[in-house]
Chain A
Amino acid sequence: MAAEALKISGLCKNFDDFCLKDIELAVPEGAVVGLIGENGAGKTTTIKAAVDLLHRDKGEVEFFGKRMEEDPSGIRKEVGVVFDSLHFSQGLDADKIEKICEAIYENWDKKTFEECMEKFSLPHKKAIKDFSTGMKMKLNLAIGLSHNARLLIMDEPTSGLDPVVRDDILDIFMDFMQEENHAILLSSHITSDLEKIADYIAFIHKGRLIFCMPKDTLLYQYGVIKCSKRDFENICAEDKLAWRIEDYQCSVLTGDRRRAAARYPEMIIDTPTIDEIMLLYVKGERK
């Protein structure tokens, strides 16, 4: 079994109007874990609490088997965190940002940064206020990739980007994952991106982790039964993970598509998308 690049156990964080409760999440080395959930579900809070930007009320977080308190500097050198925007002053250019990062990271890799800049066609001397959203995100990624990080934690890195740039960025993730001890935790609303690259899908809803499982299990074992209200009553409880009853049709998420097909041959059972699964959990009812 692969070692864990990131392990979150029993993570709790309370706010006045929201709480993150007992989050259990692991990102194995060699894997991409996609973190999904609606706005305000707790994805960013989970990431921020994991990297100590928020103080945890309860729970443990381990990076490569070590708690952050044991070796904060060592861990941060090996973890690249990429947010949805570039956190540098808009008047700076890529060259100055590189010099700043080089002075902060002992393990800064100038060559990799140069390669990224060339590969992403980013200008060295242009102020970042004149960068497009895609260019800013690519520079963000170049920084994350240029200190030999083994784990990339990314919060909505592809949001607001057009499909071409998103595809470029997914290619970058694929390249990063060529090293078998690398890992990615990727929070995203764009589930089609996760369907392309994620190995595991973790779903957070209202501050709770609903599931974390291999993407293939979700897409190839799960199914969505489309049926009438009368047929809905005939579906066994064990075949109903979540359901949504609308005027003319019921959609039922089932954990075993083949078993459901055998049990309910008269019903239509579709392969689910991650969006459908998320919608059934968020907008439907659950057992």
Chain B
Amino acid sequence: MKGLILKDLYNAMTQGKVLLFMVVIFGVCFANAAEGTLIIMCTIYAAVLVINNMALDEMCAWETFALTMPVTRRQLALSKYVISVIYAFGGTLLGAIMTVVLRAAGFGGGGAPLGSILVITGVGMAISALFIAVLIPVNFKFGIQKGRFVLLSIAALIGGGGVLLSGSRGTRIMAAIGTFGEINGMLAALIAAAAVAVILVVSFGISVKIMEKKEF
């Protein structure tokens, strides 16, 4: 597992200039946005960097070689989740540092309390986890090129679902969730964290199944 993570980190480092460029772009774009926005954006961007790793793996048929080494298909799948979490934490940290630096330089959306920044960070993590939960199995199954089309289809379905929910029934459901969150803040956070964890576990299970069936 350590070798697989190391390989992904080295691969990410080879794209250091692009990553640095993106960080600068985020800094410029979100310097004056509401505080926490930069953290959310950095977290999500960093988490989905795993797709770059998967694209590089696909280009050099890494998995074909990796499976001739003492590496299992399960470990190959798990490594992508672990590296995503590492990236997400790295992104959060980077976003937080940039926020502090920008605030010190007189930018920023006006001194939000630490508590709300932590909540925003949690939301960023949760969104990242959901992205990862979808992206990884889809790309294992379909590859990067086909995977894009599948993801677009999923996005369209979610968009369609959003339109359906925008009706009066949807508004009532969202309002009920909102009210529950306001009354039971901690409980809502725990339920959300548990739901994200379950989704990640299910996603990992699907990825393992895909990898076990896959031929190289």
**Inter-chain contact B59/A101, CB cutoff 8 Å:** no
Contacts A54-B215, A89-B14; A103 near B6 (Cβ below 8 A): yes
Contact of A100 (CB < 8 Å), options: B6, B14, B56, B70: B6
Contacts A53-B68, A73-B70, A100-B6; A87 near B215 (Cβ below 8 A): no
Closest residue on chain A to residue B72 by CB atoms? A72
Q: Give, as a whole number of angstroms, the nearest-CB distance from B70 to chain A.
A: 4
A105 at the interface (CB under 8 A from B): yes
B65 at the interface (CB under 8 A from A): yes
Once the chains are docked, how many angstroms separate the CA of A73 from the CA of B71? 7
- Interface residues on chain B, number (Cβ under 8 Å): 27
A103 partner residues in chain B, CB cutoff 8 A: 2-3, 6
Closest residue on chain A to residue B53 by CB atoms? A89
**Inter-chain contact B7/A87, CB cutoff 8 Å:** no
Q: Give, as a whole number of angstroms, the nearest-CB distance from A113 to chain B.
A: 14
**Inter-chain contact A53/B60, CB cutoff 8 Å:** no
B2 partner residues in chain A, CB cutoff 8 A: 103-104
A145 partner residues in chain B, CB cutoff 8 A: none
Contacts A99-B6, A103-B6; A81 near B62 (Cβ below 8 A): no
Q: Give, as a whole number of angstroms, the nearest-CB distance from A58 to chain B.
A: 15
**Inter-chain contact A101/B11, CB cutoff 8 Å:** no
A76 at the interface (CB under 8 A from B): yes
A61 at the interface (CB under 8 A from B): no
A265 partner residues in chain B, CB cutoff 8 A: none
**Inter-chain contact A104/B11, CB cutoff 8 Å:** no
B20 at the interface (CB under 8 A from A): no
**Inter-chain contact B70/A87, CB cutoff 8 Å:** no
**Inter-chain contact A100/B10, CB cutoff 8 Å:** yes
**Inter-chain contact B11/A87, CB cutoff 8 Å:** no
Closest residue on chain B to residue A72 by CB atoms? B72
Q: A189-240: which residues lie under 8 A (CB-CB) from chain B?
A: none
Once the chains are docked, how many angstroms separate the CA of A278 from the CA of B213? 35
A91 partner residues in chain B, CB cutoff 8 A: 11, 14-15
B165 at the interface (CB under 8 A from A): no
B66 partner residues in chain A, CB cutoff 8 A: 87
Q: Give, as a whole number of angstroms, the nearest-CB distance from A183 to chain B.
A: 16
**Inter-chain contact B62/A104, CB cutoff 8 Å:** no
**Inter-chain contact B69/A96, CB cutoff 8 Å:** no
**Inter-chain contact B216/A53, CB cutoff 8 Å:** yes
Q: Give, as a whole number of angstroms, the nearest-CB distance from B84 to chain A.
A: 18
Contacts A87-B61, A100-B6; A76 near B69 (Cβ below 8 A): yes
Contacts A54-B216, A100-B10, A103-B6; A86 near B69 (Cβ below 8 A): no
Q: A71-91: which residues lie under 8 A (CB-CB) from chain B?
A: 72-73, 76-77, 79, 81, 83, 85-91
Query: Would you call the interface of chain B mostly helix, strand, loop, or mixed?
Result: helix
| B-contact 0/1 string along A49-79, CB 8 Å cutoff | 0011111000000000000000011001101
B67 at the interface (CB under 8 A from A): yes
Once the chains are docked, how many angstroms separate the CA of A76 from the CA of B67? 9
B215 partner residues in chain A, CB cutoff 8 A: 48, 53-55
Closest residue on chain B to residue A127 by CB atoms? B14
**Inter-chain contact A92/B11, CB cutoff 8 Å:** yes
| B-contact 0/1 string along A162-197, CB 8 Å cutoff | 000000000000000000000000000000000000
Once the chains are docked, how many angstroms separate the CA of A39 from the CA of B184? 67
Contact of B64 (CB < 8 Å), options: A76, A77, A87, A89: A87
Once the chains are docked, how many angstroms separate the CA of A101 from the CA of B69? 9
B94 partner residues in chain A, CB cutoff 8 A: none
Once the chains are docked, how many angstroms separate the CA of A89 from the CA of B65? 12
| A-contact 0/1 string along B10-44, CB 8 Å cutoff | 11001100000000000000000000000000000
Closest residue on chain A to residue B11 by CB atoms? A89
Once the chains are docked, how many angstroms separate the CA of A103 from the CA of B69? 11
**Inter-chain contact B71/A104, CB cutoff 8 Å:** yes
A72 partner residues in chain B, CB cutoff 8 A: 70, 72
**Inter-chain contact B14/A92, CB cutoff 8 Å:** yes
B213 partner residues in chain A, CB cutoff 8 A: 55
Q: Can you identify 17 A-B contacts, CB atoms within 8 angstroms?
A: A51-B67, A52-B67, A55-B215, A81-B65, A81-B68, A83-B65, A85-B61, A87-B62, A88-B62, A89-B14, A91-B15, A92-B11, A92-B14, A99-B6, A103-B2, A104-B3, A104-B4
12 new A-B contacts at CB < 8 Å, known A55-B215, A89-B7: A48-B215, A76-B70, A77-B70, A81-B65, A83-B64, A83-B65, A88-B7, A92-B14, A99-B6, A100-B6, A102-B3, A104-B71
Query: Footprint of A on B, CB under 8 Å?
Result: 2-4, 6-7, 10-11, 14-15, 56-57, 59-62, 64-72, 213, 215-216
Query: Footprint of B on A, CB under 8 Å?
Result: 48, 51-55, 72-73, 76-77, 79, 81, 83, 85-92, 96, 99-106, 127
